[in-house]
Amino acid sequence: MQKAPRPQIYIYELPAEYRACKIWSEHTEPGKGYEAFNYGTEKRLPEVLRNSSYWTSDPEEADLFYMDAWFYCLYAEQTLKLGKKTYDHHDITLAVLSYVRQQWPYWDRSGGVDHIWLYTYDHGFCGFSHAEGAVAEVAHSIILSHWGLEDPEDGCSLEERVAEFGCPARKAGTAGQPPCFVLGKDTVIASTAADASELPAPAQMVPEKRLTKFFFAGDLRTDDLSYSHGVRQTVHALFVAQPGFKVVDTATSGPVNDYAGQFGRSTFCLASTGAGWGVRLKMSLTYGCIPVIVADRVQMPYEDVLPYKDFAVRVPQHAIYRLPDLLDSLLADPAKVRAMQARMACVSRFFTWRQDRGLAFEALLCSLRRKIVGQDQLLPKLDWASCELHCEPA
């Protein structure tokens, strides 16, 4: 008898009320419902898991336990659409936890360290109230989110002269709050954002047609310097007139024509954050534009298992002023640039949950397997030729 692959994951069968969210789930056609919405991973992930050999119906065989509740969808439906506050993230978390502890013994057996929670909001684990109860109860669990900030999510105050000195409040443990993301314990996963969009045609992926050196278009929110941790505003202030750069403030100039196509016509694209996690890293990879990640102490999706140095450029926030020189030094090695571009067709698959090509689930499994086996005992390796992520202990 063939041994079941690890990790074996048990999905708690929670009351339907914790998934009774209709605002974005009226459609049943694949790719048109909530699973294709920006925050729809909380619906898509358990669907994929149940159809895999990693799901077990026997909790006694499980390595891990998944809390199958649509936290964001319930919150958004009640608060944003209906104008009520029947639920908030804190209340739903505690209600789910209370039900699980009443019905099964597994939480109390481990203290929750082998349990998985998924928070898809912009600020991930920091997206709900840091009310003492919820945070203290679930902080030791595995948190999946799209937001990998290794600090608490403290806003910047303009009264602290942020324009001159940055955001001084971002220090781990500020005001007793835990970080949004704990390296090694938690995992940043790919979102379902843009999964319903058409994929770029091969003609859009030709490196020779990339006439723009660097591209960014988006809302700057100059009245809120905590937005994107000041990166968007700084890039625009320094490089809006830089030759070869296309940096657009859509709040003042309006939407950019053929926005997706701009990624396909650019060599480098800014993969900045927004209010929390953003979609530009995924857009860049989908259209073959080398992502330039400027996000200090923010882990990207599956950064614990994917070789980012082979397909992306990280620039520290203090070095933004050097961006033209840094990109020119890369362009001076055309073979390296072409190699990074060629890897996009493969690595972009780890950032999508699409049925026809998505490998996001495989990357997640690799990350979870490392937590069970030991981070040092399992070192993933991506075979670029076959686009296979090898994730077995040595």
The predicted structure's pLDDT at residue 71: 85
Phi, psi of 293 (to 5 degrees): -95, 115
Percent pLDDT > 90 in the chain is: 57
Q: 124 pLDDT exceeds 90? A: no
Q: 95: which residues sit within 8 A by CB, 6+ positions away? A: 18
Ordered by where they begin, the domains of the chain are 9-145 (no CATH), 202-351 (3.40.50.2000), 364-390 (no CATH)
CA distance 138 to 134: 6
**Cα–Cα nearest to 288, from 224, 356, 203:** 203
Are 9 and 68 in contact by the 8 Å Cβ rule? The answer is no
The predicted structure's pLDDT at residue 38: 81
Q: 291 pLDDT exceeds 80? A: yes
Q: 254 pLDDT exceeds 60? A: yes
The predicted structure's pLDDT at residue 131: 46
Mean pLDDT value across the chain: 85
Q: 151 pLDDT exceeds 70? A: yes
The predicted structure's pLDDT at residue 356: 82
CA distance 362 to 386: 14
Beta bridge partners of 145: 119, 188
Dihedral angle sign, alpha carbons of residues 150, 292, 327, 162: negative
Cis peptide before 5 (omega within 30 of 0): no
Q: 228 pLDDT exceeds 50? A: yes
Q: 159 pLDDT exceeds 60? A: no
Are 266 and 213 in contact by the 8 Å Cβ rule? The answer is yes
- In 3-state terms, what secondary structure has residue 270? strand
Q: 266 pLDDT exceeds 60? A: yes
Q: 209 pLDDT exceeds 80? A: no
The predicted structure's pLDDT at residue 195: 83
| pLDDT tens-digit map of 24-68 | 555 444 555 565 578 889 989 999 999 999 999 999 999 999 999
Helix axes 334-342, 323-331, angle to 10 degrees: 90
- 145 — pLDDT class (breaks 50, 70, 90): very high
Helix, strand, coil distribution of the chain in percent, nearest 5: 40, 15, 45
Q: What does the pLDDT average to over 96-115?
A: 96
- This prediction has a pTM of 0.90
Q: 14 pLDDT exceeds 60? A: yes
User: Residue with structure tokens 């006694």?
Assistant: 60
Q: What does the pLDDT average to over 324-330?
A: 97
Q: 335 pLDDT exceeds 80? A: yes
The predicted structure's pLDDT at residue 22: 64
Q: 368 pLDDT exceeds 80? A: yes
Q: What does the pLDDT average to over 286-315?
A: 96
What is the DSSP secondary-structure string of 80-121? IISS--S--HHHHHHHHHHHHHHH-SHHHHHTTTTEEEEE-S
Phi, psi of 148 (to 5 degrees): -105, 35
Neighbours of 329 (CB within 10 A): 10
CA distance 342 to 1: 41
Least confident of 38-47, 72-81, 92-101, 245-254: 72-81
Are 118 and 187 in contact by the 8 Å Cβ rule? The answer is no
Interior angle at CA 116, CA 110 and CA 121, nearest 5: 140
- In 3-state terms, what secondary structure has residue 299? strand
Q: 34: which residues sit within 8 A by CB, 6+ positions away? A: 21, 24, 25, 40, 43, 70, 73
Q: What does the pLDDT average to over 267-277?
A: 91
Q: 157 pLDDT exceeds 50? A: no
Least confident of 74-88, 95-109, 318-332: 74-88
Q: What does the pLDDT average to over 166-189?
A: 69
CA distance 319 to 283: 24
Tokens of 320: 């933004």
